[in-house]
Amino acid sequence: MSDNSPTSGKQLVTMTVNGEQTEVAIEPRRVLLDVLRHDVGLTGSKKVCEMGDCGACTVHLDGAPVYSCLVLGIECAGKKVDTIEGLAKGNQLDPIQQAFIDHDAFQCGFCTSGQIMSLKALFEDSPKPSDEQIVTAVSGNLCRCGAYQNIVKAAQAVRDEAKPETRNDD
Amino acid sequence: MKAFSYSPAPTAAEASNEKDSRAEFFAGGTDLLTRMKLNIVSPDALIDLKSADLPNGVSEQNGGLTIGALTTLRDIEQSELIAEKFPVLAQAAALAATPQIRNRATVAGNLLQRPRCWYYRNRHVDCWLKGGSDCPAATGQNQQHAIFDQSPCKAVHTSDLAPALVALNARVKVRGADGERELSIEDFFAPPTEDRRRETTLADDDVVLSIELPSDASHSVYLKAMDRKVWAFALVSVAAIKSAEGWAVVLGGVANNPVRLGPLEKALENTDASDHNALDKQHDKAFADAEPLEHNGYKVTLAKRLIRRAIEQLSD
Amino acid sequence: MTIKTPEIESSKNDGDIELSLPLQQDLTDWQTGHEFTVVGKPHSRLEGAEKVTGRAQYSADVRLSGQLYGAVLRCPHPHAKLISIDTSEAEALPGVHAVISQNDQFDIDWYSEEAPLFSDQLRFVGDEVAAVAAVSTEVAADALRLIKVNYEPLPFVTDMDQALADDAPAIHDGDNRVEEDSEYERGDCAAGLQQADITVENEYRTQTALHTALEAHGATAHWSGDELIVYESTQGVHAIHGLLCEKLGLPMNKVRVIEQHMGGGFGAKQTLWKPTLFAALLSRKAGRPVQLLLDREGENLATGNRNSTLQQVKLGASNDGKLTAIKMTCRINAGAYATAGEASNVAGIFQHLYHCENVKTSQVRVYTNTGPAVAFRAPGYVEACFALESAMDELAHKLEIDPLELRRINYTGRDQTGDKPWSSPDGLKTCYERLDEEFGWSQRKAPSSEGSIRRGYGLAAHEWMAGMGNPPAAVFIKLNTDGSADVVTGTQDIGTGTRTVLAQVAAEAIGLPMESVRLLLGDTAIGGVAPVSQGSFTVPTLAPAVRGAGENLRRQILEAAALLLETDATTLEIKDGEIVSTEGKHKSLTVADVCDELAPQSLQAHGSRRANPTDTTIRPFGALAAEVAVDTQTGEITVIRIVNAPDCGRILNSKTANSQVIGGVTQGIGFALTEERMVDHNIGLVLNADLEEYKIPTVADIPTITHAEVNLPDLNANNTGAKGLGELPLIPAAPAILNAIFDATGLRFTQLPINRARVLAALQAQQETAE
Ligand SMILES: Cc1cc2nc3c(=O)[nH]c(=O)nc-3n(C[C@H](O)[C@H](O)[C@H](O)COP(=O)(O)OP(=O)(O)OC[C@H]3O[C@@H](n4cnc5c(N)ncnc54)[C@H](O)[C@@H]3O)c2cc1C
Ligand code: SF4
Ligand code: FES
Ligand code: FES
């Protein structure tokens, strides 16, 4: 941009999305969720309430789970954003993803990427979480299909199988 | 959301200077963005405070504690210092909102969040607090509204930290047009008035720098009653502290601002907490001036019982 | 080895070629005890990997080149006349490509009342006024703000009781009754009440509940020449197809509806809503694809709801617990319009669940200035089960008969309205047995108290008027030249596991391993007609047709194998893709080998859903018990444990069946305790068109939920023995919880939901009367 005064027009913003430097031209009012879904082309994070009420849009911002519908894209300049699409390595599923399949931790699947991202953050912090920590980790992720019981079971299975050294480093 | 410009502020001073009535300070954005999406506020510019030199995090200072304005609820929830010395605050933070919100929500933003009154949040309603002439909640669906009459607005303050910080006699450090100043949290909060339709006394260009906690409150508790087990705003909450100086009992979810039950605090000094009858009497006094609305009488009962439970827990 | 390729008469559609093996009609062999290799197994969902990686493409994830984004302008008044609308500024905004409104004068009507698509009579907050398409969602929102509408607010009524007052404003012409009262009587109800030793009588109110699928309604519409392609979030691709053709006046071969995954519907997506049509009209006007997805506000205001009800219930019984009369009068809040789809049958359960000779029911729908109601997972039954089963609990309490025993005393194995037996007359009885076993009902402790906490137990039973499935459904299976199979259906998987379950049935019927079967669905251009996934219809409609097609294909494979092996086809079977003798001996021949020999010819088979029997009524049933704790100080309710025993016939996949059970029960907990659409009747606005104050259960609100499998194949129903399950678990959840609350506290609630405000008010009143 030629002049320094802030503008409401589009600006170039660079962030690291799933490990890749990504440049987007966005208006300041575009929220991170829309940046991901429309400018980056990653539609795994879902738009449901846009008000921080449901968790379907959960991504990691500099490692911490946040609602991407309540983050501006423009404030992510220079930051690290991780989404559901970055979890599997090729077709090698993350253990949480596999456990979700094995324990039928979803029906329609619309809340699933958010649930998994919340749990991923938990397991990165504490590979052996208590049941209470598991419930707290997904307490901001609504599931209308009511898969909660199996979501918790899937997380417990990951925990009970995780040896301390299998902690994922990325 | 209407279009706006965005600028990261380098310092609190510059943020304060830059601020005019068409701009908004932006911290975690978890409250501001929801109001902007509903077109309740439509600023032309956002001034991001996260880049400014505001204190961030929790540190011990002259026997008390400083919590930087940008400290997140998650930082508070996870601080061992706070868990040990100010359990009431740690519990309040942990019970607020959801993990994802707590990762973004700042303590200053939490105190400055605007009401969740469902009329206020409905963009078709031009209610008193938004500059209109009357309050539809007073005669409408007021299940969640105030039982203490503090202003023409019946909305309750939904911050969980606020009652805890009031109970803790916190002080708020602010940077305004005339430089830095400090005010007590009781002076920081004030019910809205005809000319100042918001819940605090901050000037438009005041930047909150930090929250100062004078002394420990290791014997303290925060209880929150919700319609769900997690992720709901408080129907009623209570922050209670027992210390050498006596009791502190502050209610959330019952008025525009947190409500300190001063006479009850005093009475508790001379009341045996296990004497339910005596307690009930004190309660009845404390709520004598409550004015429940058509649908929220239950809050009086709920508040009394939460207080009783808090007192019991601290008397063990 | 060279053999003569058998003649496959592909012209005969149902594969009805003269073969020595049994025809589809005779498929009665899937009895209890039949050994299955795939059916009934807990197979994981076929689309699992797509869903957990974020790769599954929902309607909102479609990205077409040049795609525009739509948004809807809604009426902010509960009742208004639209005087004028000026869209010129919106149209002039850079980035806006199309605006549609009343000014376009579309000749399209909507709802059962045949209101114009864009009407100048606006009858609820959220009624659609205009729609725009622009280069981004942000610009579309800007455009909406530039549309100038001049409304004349009209007198309104949003409360159902007030709508029937003499001076209530008329929402349509007339007295705000949607239709004449629908009456039913058998026996002599008045006499039955006279005979009774004891009666219970109460007025029950159920709230307006919102479906709240996480994926909002919406579609991506794209015109390719004169052909319209729509990616829709729907419970019925064929229904949308038909309705779009009708509304747009297009032949069916010019419209194609596609949906591979959908983010929940629960009834609200069983019919066409305006936004999909808007997307098509905007796309035609703009000449570019348009994606129009509702925001949460629009979703909660204008895409249906579970109608609130007021039910007056009176039961009469003799001292030994036998019901002598059941009387129910009910008012239903239809909202501003009547919508198509599954009807809300409140009266049904009163007529059917218990043996009773004297039954009288009456129900009527009432217009109000609120969003139109539409079927929501077991419409009518969820509302009615709360009332009936609360009343039964009260009766049991008064008679001092165990609630389960009272239900057994009033058992019926017959359809008393059609005067014929249920297809599985012991279905409900078996539910009771399984519930008793798994919950330990008979051994349950007395209600207990510890400090301020009271614990109690409650149960409820139900039947469900749907879940039988119906023709038509057409299925086509194509055997690929490598021995794998593509099963082509016209159904959809709304998250219930249809894809997986039908693939299991196909694999079992043909004799292939699951890996060799692909199930295709969700595309009207490919799959034959199939019903809307409503009324727990999908499995009992599609599975028998899939089985029929699979069996036909198996017969053809065996005939070919017999020629190859120079033996009689009746001596052969297919197991796991291999040809074996009926004694199980391997024949060193696989299905793939047979295909290889047949190439370049390939086998294919059709199957279709046969009519239901007429001498019996197909019915699923269920029973549910709950253990609940109530904190009598703070009014906090904690559901501790729920066991649900639904009779859905044969369980085709225990894993997805379990998910249906825990999911339905979870929704029932929300209906019982927290969910309620709030309206301010003074100003007519909906106050919680969001996910903040419309409170669905969270992970922490859920108890341990156990599915007590009943698994009673109902071969009177169809050749798979399976009936619908989707709606069952939700029906009895609320009354069982409420009955448990009564057991714990002695408080009988007659209005849902039972939130803190109501519990505390009742506890307070109870204490005051005790003092
Ligand atoms: C889904 C949801 C659930 C919630 N549940 C709860 C709950 O249970 N309990 C609870 O307590 N809260 C709850 N909240 C509110 C939440 O905690 C607040 O939104 C949050 O704390 C605000 O902080 P923020 O940093 O995001 O503020 P922002 O949204 O950035 O700002 C809020 C306001 O404060 C101003 N502001 C922010 N920082 C400063 C500063 N340093 N100086 C001057 N002005 C400033 C802004 O201009 C703005 O007006 C919930 C919010 C959501 C969205
Ligand atoms: S309570 Fe306050 S915010 Fe709510 S409608 Fe009344 S004035 Fe507005
Ligand atoms: S879409 Fe972000 S929390 Fe619901
Ligand atoms: S799986 Fe459908 S919302 Fe969670």
Q: Which residues contact ligand 4 via a Cβ below 6 A?
A: A 106-112, 143-145, 147; C 214, 264, 495
| d(C-alpha B36, C-alpha B1), whole Å | 6
Chain B CB within 8 Å of residue A127 CB: no
Ligand 1, residue B202: give the atom nearest the CA. 43
Give the ranges where C295-426 is alpha helix by DSSP (H): 296-302, 348-352, 381-399, 403-409
> How far is CA C168 from each of CA C161, C181, C682, rounded to the nearest angstrom?
10, 19, 14
pLDDT at residue C619, as a whole number:
96
Is A112 found in the same domain as A62? no
Residue nearest to ligand 1 atom 6, measured at CA? B97
Among A30, A60, A83, which residue terminates a domain?
Answer: A83
Report whether pLDDT(C1) > 50.
no
Query: Which ligand has the shortest distance to the CA of A142?
Result: 4
In a domain, A28, yes or no: yes
Is A19 found in the same domain as A76? yes
Chain C CB within 8 Å of residue A89 CB: no
Cβ(C59)–Cβ(C233) below 8 Å: yes
pLDDT tens sequence across B100-152: 999 999 999 999 999 999 999 999 999 999 999 999 999 999 999 999 999 99
Question: What CATH number did the domain enclosing A65 receive?
Answer: 3.10.20.30
Domain C62-154+214-264+269-302 matches domain C309-467+615-770 at the CATH topology level: no
Is residue A57 lining ligand 3, measured as CB closer than 6 Å?
Answer: yes
Class of residue B183 by CB neighbours under 10 A (exposed 0-12, middle 13-18, buried 19+): middle
pTM value?
0.96
Is residue B120 lining ligand 2, measured as CB closer than 6 Å?
Answer: yes
Is A111 found in the same domain as A68? no
Is residue B75 lining ligand 1, measured as CB closer than 6 Å?
Answer: no
Q: Which residues in chain B are closer than 8 Å to A5, comparing Cβ atoms?
A: 5
Residue nearest to ligand 1 atom 34, measured at CA? B109
The answer to whether the CB atoms of A100 and C52 lie below 8 A apart is yes
pLDDT tens sequence across C242-295: 999 999 999 999 999 999 999 999 999 999 999 999 999 999 999 999 999 999
Residue nearest to ligand 3 atom 3, measured at CA? A52
Chain C CB within 8 Å of residue A9 CB: no
Is residue B117 lining ligand 2, measured as CB closer than 6 Å?
Answer: yes
pLDDT tier at C26, thresholds 50, 70, 90? low
Look at residues A75, C601, C741, A113 and name the one whose alpha carbon lies nearest to residue B30.
Answer: A75
What stretches of C545-620 adopt beta strand conformation (E)? 572-575, 578-581, 586-590, 604-608
List of chains touching B (3+ CB pairs within 8 A): A, C
Ligand 2, residue B128: give the atom nearest the CA. 7
User: C93 C-alpha vs ligand 3 centroid, how far in Å?
Assistant: 29
Average pLDDT, chain A: 93
Report whether pLDDT(C7) > 70.
no
In a domain, A167, yes or no: no
pLDDT at residue C31, as a whole number:
87
Mutate: best of B44, B46, B98, B110, partner A, most A CBs <10 A: B98
| d(C-alpha A141, C-alpha A53), whole Å | 8
Q: Which residues in chain B are closer than 8 Å to A118, comparing Cβ atoms?
A: 99-100
pLDDT tens sequence across C49-101: 999 999 999 999 999 999 999 999 999 999 999 999 999 999 999 999 999 99
Which range (B50-64, C5-19, C503-517, C591-605) has the least confidence? C5-19
Residue nearest to ligand 4 atom 3, measured at CA? A143
Mutate: best of C59, C699, C705, C730, partner A, most A CBs <10 A: C699
Query: Which of A35, A45, A57, A59 to mutate for ligand 3's pocket (most ligand atoms within 8 Å of CB)?
Result: A57
pLDDT at residue C770, as a whole number:
82
pLDDT tens sequence across C509-546: 999 999 999 999 999 999 998 999 988 889 999 999 99
Q: Which CATH number, 3.40.50.1970, 3.30.365.10, 3.30.420.40, 3.40.50.300, labels domain C309-467+615-770?
A: 3.30.365.10
Close Cβ partners of C702 (under 8 Å, ≥ 6 residues apart): A146, A148, A149, C639, C662, C666, C669
Instruction: Give residues 625 to 684 of C whose Cβ lies within 8 Å of A.
Output: 655-656, 658-660, 662-667
Is residue A96 lining ligand 3, measured as CB closer than 6 Å?
Answer: no
| d(C-alpha C108, C-alpha C98), whole Å | 18
The answer to whether the CB atoms of B230 and C633 lie below 8 A apart is no
Among A59, A83, A107, which residue terminates a domain?
Answer: A83
Structure tokens at B113: 């969040």
Among A83, A106, A131, which residue terminates a domain?
Answer: A83
Chain C CB within 8 Å of residue B311 CB: no
Range of the domain at A129: 95-161
pLDDT at residue A5, as a whole number:
67
How many CB atoms are located within 10 Å of the residue C503 CB? 26
Query: Residues of C with catalytic annotation?
Result: 727
Dihedral sign for Cα atoms in the order B102, B104, B110, B113:
negative
pLDDT at residue B271, as a whole number:
80
Chain A CB within 8 Å of residue B116 CB: no
DSSP string, A28-96: TT-BHHHIIIIII----SPPS-SSSSS-TTEEEETTEEEEGGGSBGGGGTT-EEE-GGGTSBTTB--HH
In a domain, A70, yes or no: yes
pLDDT at residue A163, as a whole number:
61
Ligand 2, residue B135: give the atom nearest the CA. 6
Give percent above pLDDT 90 in chain A.
Answer: 88
Average pLDDT, chain C: 94
pLDDT tens sequence across C707-720: 999 999 999 999 99
Low-confidence ranges of chain B (pLDDT < 50): none
pLDDT at residue C370, as a whole number:
98
Report whether pLDDT(A52) > 80.
yes
Is A70 found in the same domain as A15? yes
Euclidean distance between the first and the last CA atom of chain A, given in angstroms as a whole number: 34
How many CB atoms are located within 10 Å of the residue C83 CB? 10
Q: Which CATH architecture has domain C6-56+470-608?
A: 2-Layer Sandwich (3.30)
Look at residues C325, C310, C328, C375 and name the one whose alpha carbon lies nearest to residue C355.
Answer: C325
Report whether pLDDT(A168) > 70.
no
In a domain, A168, yes or no: no
Is A65 found in the same domain as A19? yes
Residue nearest to ligand 1 atom 17, measured at CA? B110
Residue type at position C708: A
Look at residues C232, C230, C236 and name the one whose alpha carbon lies nearest to residue C218.
Answer: C232
Is A37 found in the same domain as A76? yes
List of chains touching A (3+ CB pairs within 8 A): B, C
The answer to whether the CB atoms of B118 and C687 lie below 8 A apart is yes
Q: Which CATH superfamily is domain C62-154+214-264+269-302 in?
A: Aldehyde oxidase/xanthine dehydrogenase, a/b hammerhead (3.90.1170.50)
| d(C-alpha C415, C-alpha B65), whole Å | 73
Q: How far is CA C602 from the centre of its chain?
A: 38
pLDDT tier at A124, thresholds 50, 70, 90? very high
Give percent above pLDDT 70 in chain C.
Answer: 97
Is A131 found in the same domain as A70? no
User: B155 C-alpha vs ligand 2 centroid, how far in Å?
Assistant: 5
Query: Which ligand has the shortest distance to the CA of B34?
Result: 1
pLDDT at residue B276, as a whole number:
78
In a domain, A145, yes or no: yes
Query: Which ligand has the shortest distance to the CA of A47?
Result: 3
pLDDT tens sequence across C629-671: 999 999 999 999 999 999 999 999 999 999 999 999 999 999 9
In a domain, A12, yes or no: yes
Chain C CB within 8 Å of residue B116 CB: yes
Residue of A nearest to C46 (CA): A101
Chain C CB within 8 Å of residue A111 CB: yes
DSSP string, C90-103: HHHSTTEEEEEEGG
Report whether pLDDT(A165) > 70.
no
Report whether pLDDT(C12) > 50.
no
Is residue A52 lining ligand 3, measured as CB closer than 6 Å?
Answer: yes
Is A67 found in the same domain as A103? no
Chain C CB within 8 Å of residue B79 CB: no
For C756, the closest of B116, B122, B298 (CB atoms) is B298
| d(C-alpha C421, C-alpha C428), whole Å | 13
Structure tokens at C533: 């996934």
Look at residues C46, C132, C49 and name the one whose alpha carbon lies nearest to residue C503.
Answer: C46
In a domain, A170, yes or no: no
The count of structural domains within chain A is 2
The answer to whether the CB atoms of B228 and C700 lie below 8 A apart is yes
Complex ipTM: 0.96
Give percent above pLDDT 70 in chain A.
Answer: 92
User: B109 C-alpha vs ligand 2 centroid, how far in Å?
Assistant: 20
Chain B CB within 8 Å of residue A75 CB: yes
Close Cβ partners of B36 (under 8 Å, ≥ 6 residues apart): B1, B2, B4, B42, B43
User: C697 C-alpha vs ligand 4 centroid, how far in Å?
Assistant: 12
Q: Which residues in chain A are closer than 8 Å to B99, comparing Cβ atoms?
A: 65, 118, 136-137, 139-140
| d(C-alpha C59, C-alpha C231), whole Å | 6
| d(C-alpha A7, C-alpha C461), whole Å | 63
Residue reference for tokens 């077409």? C64
The answer to whether the CB atoms of B37 and A74 lie below 8 A apart is no
Give percent above pLDDT 90 in chain C.
Answer: 91
Is A132 found in the same domain as A67? no
pLDDT at residue B156, as a whole number:
98
Closest-CA distance, B112 to chain A, in angstroms, reads 17
| d(C-alpha B235, C-alpha B227), whole Å | 7
Residues linked to residue C450 through DSSP beta bridges, in sequence order: C453
CA atoms within 13 A on the CB side of C134: 21
pLDDT tens sequence across A64-101: 999 999 999 999 999 999 999 999 999 899 999 999 99
Cβ(C385)–Cβ(C351) below 8 Å: no
pLDDT at residue A40, as a whole number:
98
pLDDT tens sequence across C308-344: 999 999 999 999 999 999 999 999 999 999 997 777 8
Is A70 found in the same domain as A117? no
Ligand 3, residue A47: give the atom nearest the CA. 1
pLDDT tens sequence across B189-204: 999 999 999 999 999 9
- Taking the domains of chain C in order of start, what are their residue ranges? 6-56+470-608, 62-154+214-264+269-302, 309-467+615-770
| d(C-alpha B76, C-alpha A139), whole Å | 18
pLDDT at residue C2, as a whole number:
38
Question: What CATH number did the domain enclosing A110 receive?
Answer: 1.10.150.120
User: A147 C-alpha vs ligand 4 centroid, how far in Å?
Assistant: 7
